[in-house]
Amino acid sequence: MQPMRAPPERAPPENAATAAALSLLSAAAVRTRAHRMLAIGLDGALAHFRVELDRLDATVDLVLAVTRAAYPRLDAPFHSRWRHFRTGGEDRWTSLAAATHWPDRASRARTEVDLATVSVLLDAGAGPDWVYADPRTGRRIGRSEGLALASLDMFAQGAFSARPGEPLRADGDALARLPYETLRQGFQVSNHNPLVGVDGRTDLLRRLGAVVTHAPHVFGRADDPRPGGLFDHLVEQARGGGIAAAAILSALLHHLGSIWPSRLTLGGVALGDCWPHPVLTSADATNGLMPLHKLSQWLAYSLIEPLQAAGLAVVDVDGLTGLAEYRNGGLFIDTGVLALRRAQEAVRAHDISSTLVVEWRALTVALLDRLAERLRERIGTDALSLPLAKILQGGTWAAGRKIAHERAADGSPPLRVISDGTVF
């Protein structure tokens, strides 16, 4: 199999369009434009949704109740991929890592960045019909937890490693040559167990491998090029032993942005999870564009703990935004904060690029900020003590799942989205 070629490197900011495009590659851009969408919605000027902000207090009640049930002292951990490796009372990654000899903290951190990157990129929604039959317990596990365990098992077996005898790594060369059948087998895909976008996920990992391999100055500073090499790059970027969470996202968007399927480009820059919406007017080339960067932010959240464990302080965690995905978004629809202007829109499936879905996702990001503010006020704390990452975990994602299962036997979200397995 021929390795996948790396996408072309981003053009330097030589013109206004390129500079404008680069301005969208940040959490701040996501937050600013999401709140603009919410303001327009509160004025009643959105095409698809009404915003019923008076229902937000009841949503806060639900989130707080769900959080207290799982974390009575409200000491939820960060929302990240690491939570999904726990099943049947065992943290599978912690057990595997404890049985592994690590030469130093940096070696473990590189491996954890490898694992988090591959697992998060494979985490776009599985669809309602797919399950993973856990070889250790026989349990059939669907959705994010099933995807997490499947990816962890593949990682532990060396599916992404280029070094015989060293399974716990993801090498650029191995990822760039990843056979489609490897992912189908690892995720137990069949006609009776279909996984949404399985080939799209394989292509995403291949592009990841190609980009990593062709950027050794970022990903190969201390080892062969691998996603985990980003750890060394982030250490180099840190100042005074610390790095802002938004800087982690910035590194991901700038150095891995070209792995995403070809969607919108501007000034030679691939914009990734960024979509048109006509109400977001601006005077520059970003007119009508809504950045969301959901999987990249999910990965940024998931890199915080490995960086901390390696001795790097991660500050301003709330510099990242809430995640524009169907559990958080479903929570606001199911609790009535968001209401479709046309009820029949809930019946048919919508393309990920549709203005309805873009509206929904942007409103979700802004409403998560509003909910977090009210929840903190309710219990008398602040963002430093209870950052958004803990509210998501405690939290909005769990409450979204809970209410979805109360309304539908399969826990499906209130809107059906057509995706390729690389968004959510």
Question: Rounded CA gap, 193 and 14, in Å?
Answer: 48
Domain ranges of the chain: 16-418
pLDDT band, residue 424 (cuts 50/70/90): low
Residue of 94, 17, 6, 32 lying closest to 264 (CA atoms): 17
Neighbours of 89 (CB within 10 A): 5
Neighbours of 221 (CB within 10 A): 15
> What is the distance in angstroms between the CA of the first residue and the CA of the last residue of the chain?
29
Neighbours of 110 (CB within 10 A): 26
Tokens representing residue 133 in the block: 């039959």
Contacts with 105 (C-beta within 8 Å, 6 or more apart), sequence order:
309, 310, 311
Tokens representing residue 279 in the block: 């109400």
Residue of 298, 336, 335 lying closest to 424 (CA atoms): 298
Tell me how many degrees the CA angle 253-361-423 measures, rounded to the nearest 5: 50
Q: Which residue has the higher pLDDT, 124 or 27?
A: 27
The set of long-range contacts for 403-410, using a CB threshold of 8 Å and a minimum separation of 24, is 403/62, 403/330, 403/331, 403/334, 403/335, 404/327, 404/330, 404/334, 407/334, 410/128
Tokens representing residue 6 in the block: 């790396």
What residue has token string 């009643």? 44
Q: β-strands 86-87, 140-142: how paired?
A: unpaired
- What integer is the mean pLDDT of 364-382? 97
Please give the share of the chain, as a percent, with pLDDT higher than 90.
84
> What is the 3-class SS of the chain, one letter each residue?
CCCCCCCCCCCCCCCHHHHHHHHCCCHHHHHHHHHHHHHHHHCCCCCCEEECHHHHHHHHHHHHHHHHHHCCCCCCCCCCHHHHHEECCEEHHHHHHHCCCCCCHHHHHHHHHHHHHHHHHCCCCCCCCCEEECCCCCCEEEHHHHHHHHHHHHHHCCCCCCCCCCCCCCCHHHHHCCCHHHHHHHCCCECCECCCCHHHHHHHHHHHHHHHHCCHHHHCCCCCCCHHHHHHHHHHHCECCEEEHHHHHHHHHHHHHHHCCCCCEECCEECCCEEECCCCCCCCCCCCEEECCHHHHHHHHHHHHHHHHCCCEEECHHHCCCCCCHHHHHHHHHCCCEEECCHHHHCCEEECCCHHHHHHHHHHHHHHHHHHHHHHHHHCCCCCCCCHHHHHHHHHHHHHHHHHHHHCCCCCCCCEEECCCCCC
Residue 12 has pLDDT above 60, yes or no: no
Residue 75 has pLDDT above 60, yes or no: yes
Question: Rounded CA gap, 238 and 261, in Å?
Answer: 30
pLDDT at position 129: 87
pLDDT band, residue 11 (cuts 50/70/90): very low
What is the rounded average pLDDT for all residues in the chain?
Answer: 93
* pTM above threshold 0.85: yes
Nearest 5°: phi and psi at 396? -65, -40
Please write the tens of the pLDDT for every residue from 160-212.
999 999 999 999 999 999 999 999 999 999 999 999 888 889 999 999 999 99
Residue 124 has pLDDT above 80, yes or no: no
For residue 87, CA distances in Å to 137, 188, 393, 396 come to: 10, 19, 16, 20
Please write the tens of the pLDDT for every residue from 255-298.
998 898 767 899 989 898 999 999 999 999 999 999 999 989 99
Question: Rounded CA gap, 43 and 50, in Å?
Answer: 9
- What integer is the mean pLDDT of 22-36? 97
Residue 99 has pLDDT above 50, yes or no: yes
pLDDT at position 153: 98
pLDDT band, residue 340 (cuts 50/70/90): very high
B/e letters for 160-174, b = 16+ CB within 10 Å, e = fewer, are bbbeeeeebbbbbbb
Please write the tens of the pLDDT for every residue from 200-243.
899 999 999 999 999 999 999 999 999 999 999 999 999 998 99
Question: Rounded CA gap, 304 and 243, in Å?
Answer: 10
Contacts with 390 (C-beta within 8 Å, 6 or more apart), sequence order:
76, 77, 78, 79
Residue 13 has pLDDT above 50, yes or no: no
pLDDT band, residue 414 (cuts 50/70/90): very high
Distance from the Cα of residue 232 to its chain's centroid: 22
Please write the tens of the pLDDT for every residue from 305-335.
999 999 999 999 999 999 999 999 999 999 9
pLDDT at position 6: 55
Residue 104 has pLDDT above 60, yes or no: yes
pLDDT band, residue 421 (cuts 50/70/90): low
